[in-house]
Amino acid sequence: MMTNQNVVTHEVINTLIAMAASISNSTVLPSATVPESMAVLGGFWGLPHNKNLVKRLEGAKVSAWIDSMRASSPTRAKSESQEKRSWILYHPSALNTFEQIVYSAKGKQIVVFLDYDGTLSPIVADPNKAFMTRKMRATLKGIARHFPTAIVTGRCRDKVYNFVKLAELYYAGSHGMDITGPTKSPKQGNNNNKAVLFQPASQFLPMIDEVYKILLEKTKTVPGAKVENNKFCLSVHFRCVDEKSWAALAEKVRLVLIEYPQLRLTQGRKVLEIRPTIKWDKGKALEFLLESLGE
């Protein structure tokens, strides 16, 4: 993936991400939230990820949706120590191999990519209250002083910016469909006026707005359901919905999507995600940013 000579290897970046995640786990997140972070990073970095899940969701019966919703939202059957062990297996602390990292990074440009929810902020019931701590912001600011740093998230870019509040970062919101560069240099603090770099799903904006309004209306009878407008995509949260109502909620979403074959459904942690059927995702956004940064 990283062919540019000036760009550090995937392995090193992966380790940096793990390092950032381990910072977040040790200083901010209660240990019970570690598996949430693992799911987020796993989805992003190609760690165990059930592609069939997405296929099954599209056009599948509601019962299959419910199975997927359960599968992606496991109850705490495993002990916390078991969960921590499997987390560490895939995300070893970068500090244990720091010398190797420094060696591999020699002469290369290190770029840091981070997810937001469950990585920089704890997972919380209300998506509008997923605040990051001042300590995390200061750490992120420090990282951005040394390396180009990007936040790649399913969230609306403006919303995540309001949480992070650092103009010196790159942001790829809406699952990578809304990419901007820094509006402030981390070193000099001057405004270098970089704006939107790429928005491959602009033509879907009216449709996303339309479906947002429909979903708001259709889901209002399901207690706890929350529809979030992430600009180029939508989220239907079921974290606060009683499991008995998951089928009803999934059926409502399915019926709406039948009318919009240009949209597809994917699934995150206790959230159904609706997005345009374009060949673009967080991985593509990452490649796009690497190419821009390597120039």
Q: Count residues binding ligand L263DTV3 (CB under 6 A).
A: 22
42 touches ligand L263DTV3 (CB under 6 A): no
Residue 271's beta-bridge partner residues?
A: 237, 268
Task: Tell me how far, at minimum, the Cβ of 55 lies from ligand L263DTV3, in Å.
Answer: 19
For the CB of residue 129, give the shortest distance to ligand L263DTV3 in the complex, in Å: 8
| Residue 228 contacts ligand L263DTV3 per CB under 6 A | yes
What burial class does residue 165 get, using C-beta atoms within 10 Å of its C-beta: 0-12 exposed, 13-18 middle, 19+ buried? exposed
Instruction: Give dist(CA 122, CA 115) in Å, integer.
Output: 12
Phi, psi of 108 (to 5 degrees): -115, 160
In the residue annotation, 178 being an active-site residue is answered as no
CB of 102 to ligand L263DTV3, least distance (A): 29
The CA distance from 286 to 89, in Å, is: 24
- From 10-18, 148-156, 180-188, 212-220, give the range in contact with ligand L263DTV3 by CB under 6 A: 148-156
Cβ 98 to ligand L263DTV3 shortest distance, Å: 27
Is residue 275 close enough to count as binding ligand L263DTV3 by CB under 6 A?
Answer: no
What does the block give as tokens for 116? Answer: 């937001």
Name the closest residue to ligand L263DTV3 (Cβ).
Answer: 154
- Is residue 252 involved in binding ligand L263DTV3 (CB under 6 A)? no
Closest of 144, 147, 269, 264 to residue 204, by C-alpha: 264
Q: How far apart are CA 112 and CA 15, in angstroms?
A: 10
Residues 150-189: x/- map of binding to ligand L263DTV3 (CB under 6 A)?
A: ---xxx----------------------------------
**Which residue lies nearer to ligand L263DTV3 by CB, 12 or 156?**
156
The three-state DSSP-derived secondary structure of 175-220 is HHCEEECCCCCCCCCCCCCCCEEECCCHHHHHHHHHHHHHHHHHHC
Q: Which of 252, 254, 269, 275 binds ligand L263DTV3 (CB under 6 A)?
A: 269
Distance CA 173, CA 153 (A): 5
Stretch of residues binding ligand L263DTV3 (CB under 6 A), selected from 4-12, 52-60, 122-130, 131-139: 122-130
Q: Is residue 50 classed as helix, strand or coil in its secondary structure? A: coil
Return the active site residues.
Answer: 115
